[in-house]
């Protein structure tokens, strides 16, 4: 007996290829492959699912959650399922999916009927990352950016609602669909815009809804096209922000102002629904009319008063008080104040009205003109001084001015501080009142007669006089004589000897005796000498020489010379 094993090739014929699945399933099993749809019968039903005989070597199991109508399924019922796997890793049994079979059937039907760009109706089922899932026969993805024409804050508002959608993309390999609602809305709006643009004309009244408010205006949806109401076209009056008149969502009616059909832009107006109040402003508020209004704006130079809606007038600071100097309008008026004013001037073309606040009251300067005619004597306190004069209070807020030339008949005043100081109580005579310019001219010297008119009665050439030295100059010394008259002792008349400097011989405050050698009533000058009688052979000749020593136009009292001398003395 031979010990050799038989050759397997001799026992079996492998000349033809045999499919292992066929050998395992037997002749009666259906030819299937993974991913294909199979038809089977339910042979057992449990609480967890059903066992299905699909004419294969072994039964397949379908979980309960895979079967939409599980409660209606009975033993013997037929089911379509996708064979996901011939053998599972857990128990080696075939893995079936009814859900995938249902989806495959729906997918095939959907792709057969629809293509990209088609319109489908669908129900929004649930939220997912980045958008929503919609049932359009198959589940389709609706990106968040394609939900509406404007950003959506709350996606939940769309759940369970049914809309029309446009198919953007069908990916047959990955079996997914991307849809858009936004494109349909934009197409619808574009159609509406075209219809509206053909229909609207300037001057029309159109209803719309305020959709957005900015600092410069408000955008209004005119049922498909947006129009802008600029802040300047909202009211004839003054507004600082569009939100003072409008709010988002408000239904309004506006006037079509301008149309740019190429760019599809529309300008709207609200104030144009009523007439421009400036049209008849000259007839309504002629100059001199008293008006009442509210302060709507205050600037340093004045306050703007709204007389009627859309018409404002300006009260300049110069028109706020008859007597007080107003530097800032806010010192007198505030926003919201109700005031009465008088129309002064209207400039219709530039839409400007000048108003006066003080004109509503009696002009105190006109009253002063009646109370203090020229020649009236007044007494008041020095309230302020300038280089050219002093302001004297006649009554509250009414001042008169004494010019330096009207302070003394006999003295040349270069600065009022030589004679007065703030707070002094003085008397004066009213010279002139000008109510229009709000000026009152006063004179202190007119309280007494001009002594130079009677100078010949007081002094004669050759008279011996006494006086007090009041001022030194480089050319001589001034001496105050009786009757408040000053005389000049020229440097050449201070001594019989030659004098180099006045202060070497005489000082301010010295009491001196001198002799009159010259009287000039026209120039109001008196020349004096301290020389001895022996040294003067001829008084008239000496006086003539002294006068010649005075420079033309040089005054008896000259503050410039006084300051020069003071400076000179300070340097030594």
Q: How far is CA 437 from CA 273, 316, 434, in A?
A: 47, 17, 6
Strands (DSSP E) found in 55-104 = 60-63, 78-85, 95-97
- The residues, ordered by sequence, that sit 6+ positions from 263 with a Cβ below 8 Å of its Cβ are none
Please give the structure tokens belonging to residue 383.
């309230």
C-alpha–C-alpha distance, residues 62 and 82, integer Å: 10
Which CATH architecture group holds 367-447?
A: Beta Barrel (2.40)
Domain edges within the chain = 21-103, 114-185, 200-273, 281-360, 367-447, 451-571
Topology of the domain comprising 200-273:
OB fold (Dihydrolipoamide Acetyltransferase, E2P) (2.40.50)
The single-letter DSSP state of residue 341 is: E
Task: Say if CB 353 and CB 345 are below 8 A apart.
Answer: yes
Q: What is the pLDDT, as a whole number, of residue 146? A: 92
Task: Say if CB 123 and CB 135 are below 8 A apart.
Answer: yes
pLDDT tens figures, 312-349: 999 999 889 887 888 899 999 999 999 999 999 999 88
Q: How far is CA 567 from CA 196, 414, 472, 539, 557, in A?
A: 91, 17, 12, 34, 17
Kind plus residue range of the DSSP H or E element containing 217:
strand 217-221
C-alpha–C-alpha distance, residues 289 and 360, integer Å: 10
235, 258, 256, 257: which is closest to 246 by C-alpha? 235
Q: What is the pLDDT, as a whole number, of residue 132? A: 93
305, 309, 310: which is closest to 320 by C-alpha? 305
Kind plus residue range of the DSSP H or E element containing 479:
strand 476-480
Task: Say if CB 290 and CB 340 are below 8 A apart.
Answer: yes
Task: Say if CB 490 and CB 527 are below 8 A apart.
Answer: yes
- CATH classification for the domain delimited by 114-185, as one of 3.40.50.300, 2.160.10.10, 2.40.50.140, 3.40.50.410: 2.40.50.140
Superfamily for 281-360? Nucleic acid-binding proteins (2.40.50.140)
C-alpha–C-alpha distance, residues 572 and 551, integer Å: 26
Class of domain 21-103: mainly beta
Task: Say if CB 106 and CB 137 are below 8 A apart.
Answer: yes
What is the C-alpha end-to-end distance of the chain, expressed in Å? 165
- The β-bridge relationship of strands 205-213 and 226-230 is unpaired
Task: Say if CB 314 and CB 298 are below 8 A apart.
Answer: no
Q: Which residues face 430 on adjacent strands?
A: 442
Please give the structure tokens belonging to residue 234.
């909202």
Backbone angles phi, psi at 170, to 5 degrees: -120, 115
Mean pLDDT for the chain overall: 81
- The residues, ordered by sequence, that sit 6+ positions from 488 with a Cβ below 8 Å of its Cβ are 476, 477, 478, 479, 525, 526, 527, 528, 556
Q: What is the pLDDT, as a whole number, of residue 429? A: 92
pTM of the model: 0.43
Q: Dmax over Cα atoms in the chain, in whole Å?
A: 199
Cα atoms found within 13 Å of the Cα of residue 418, Cβ hemisphere only: 20
C-alpha–C-alpha distance, residues 472 and 487, integer Å: 12
| Three-state SS at 494 | coil
C-alpha–C-alpha distance, residues 321 and 353, integer Å: 18
Superfamily for 451-571? Nucleic acid-binding proteins (2.40.50.140)
245, 252, 148: which is closest to 210 by C-alpha? 252
C-alpha–C-alpha distance, residues 437 and 365, integer Å: 9
Do the domains 200-273 and 114-185 match in fold?
A: yes
Residue ranges in the chain modelled with pLDDT below 70:
1-31, 34-35, 89, 92, 534-572
Please give the structure tokens belonging to residue 163.
């809309």
């Amino acid at each position: 007996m031979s010990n050799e094993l038989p050759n397997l090739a001799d026992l079996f014929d492998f000349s033809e290829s045999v499919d292992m699945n066929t050998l395992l399933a037997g002749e009666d099993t259906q030819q299937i492959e993974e991913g294909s749809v199979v038809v089977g019968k339910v042979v057992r039903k449990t609480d967890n699912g059903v066992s299905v005989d699909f004419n294969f070597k072994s039964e397949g199991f379908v979980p309960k959650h895979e079967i939409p109508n599980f409660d209606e399924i009975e033993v013997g019922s037929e089911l379509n399922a996708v064979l996901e796997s011939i053998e599972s890793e857990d128990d080696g049994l075939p893995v079936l999916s009814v859900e995938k079979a249902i989806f495959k059937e729906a997918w095939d039907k959907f792709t057969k009927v629809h293509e990209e760009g088609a319109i489908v109706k669908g129900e929004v089922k649930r939220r997912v990352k980045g958008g929503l899932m919609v049932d359009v026969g198959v589940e389709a993805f609706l990106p968040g950016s394609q939900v509406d024409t404007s950003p959506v804050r709350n996606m939940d508002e769309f759940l369970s609602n049914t809309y029309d959608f446009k198919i953007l993309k069908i990916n047959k390999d990955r079996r997914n669909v991307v849809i858009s609602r936004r494109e349909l809305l934009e197409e619808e709006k574009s159609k509406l815009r075209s219809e509206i643009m053909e229909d609207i004309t300037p001057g029309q009244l159109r209803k719309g809804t305020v959709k957005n408010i900015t600092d410069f205006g408000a955008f209004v949806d005119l049922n498909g096209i947006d129009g802008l109401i600029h802040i300047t076209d909202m009211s004839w009056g003054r507004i600082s922000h569009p939100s003072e008149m409008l709010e988002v969502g408000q239904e309004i009616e506006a006037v079509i102002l301008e149309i740019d059909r190429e760019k599809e832009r529309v300008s709207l107006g609200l104030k144009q629904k009523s007439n421009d109040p400036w049209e008849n402003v000259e007839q309504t508020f002629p100059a001199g009319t008293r008006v009442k209004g509210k302060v709507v704006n205050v600037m340093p130079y004045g306050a703007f008063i709204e007389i009627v809606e859309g018409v404002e007038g300006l009260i300049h600071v110069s028109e706020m008080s008859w007597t007080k100097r107003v530097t800032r309008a806010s010192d007198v008026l505030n926003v919201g104040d109700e005031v009465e004013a008088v129309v002064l001037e209207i400039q219709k073309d530039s839409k400007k009205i000048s108003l006066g606040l003080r004109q509503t009251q009696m002009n105190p300067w006109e009253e002063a003109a009646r109370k203090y005619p020229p020649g009236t004597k007044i007494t008041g306190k020095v309230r302020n001084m300038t280089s050219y004069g002093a302001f004297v209070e006649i009554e509250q807020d009414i001042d008169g001015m004494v010019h330096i030339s009207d302070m003394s008949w006999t003295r040349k005043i270069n600065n009022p501080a030589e004679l007065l100081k703030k707070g002094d109580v003085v008397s004066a005579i009213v010279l002139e009142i000008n109510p229009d310019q709000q000026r009152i001219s006063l004179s202190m010297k007119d309280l007494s007669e001009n002594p130079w008119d009677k100078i010949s009665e007081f002094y004669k050439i050759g008279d011996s006089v006494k006086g007090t030295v009041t001022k030194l100059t480089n050319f001589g010394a001034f001496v105050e004589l009786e009757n408040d008259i000053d005389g000049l002792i020229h440097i050449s008349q201070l001594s019989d000897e030659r004098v180099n400097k006045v202060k070497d011989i005489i000082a301010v405050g010295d009491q001196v005796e001198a002799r009159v050698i010259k009287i000039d009533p026209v120039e109001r000058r008196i020349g004096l000498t301290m020389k001895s009688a022996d040294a003067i052979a001829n008084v008239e000749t000496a006086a003539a020489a002294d006068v010649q020593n005075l420079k033309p136009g040089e005054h008896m009292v000259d503050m410039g010379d006084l300051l020069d001398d003071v400076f000179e003395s300070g340097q030594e």
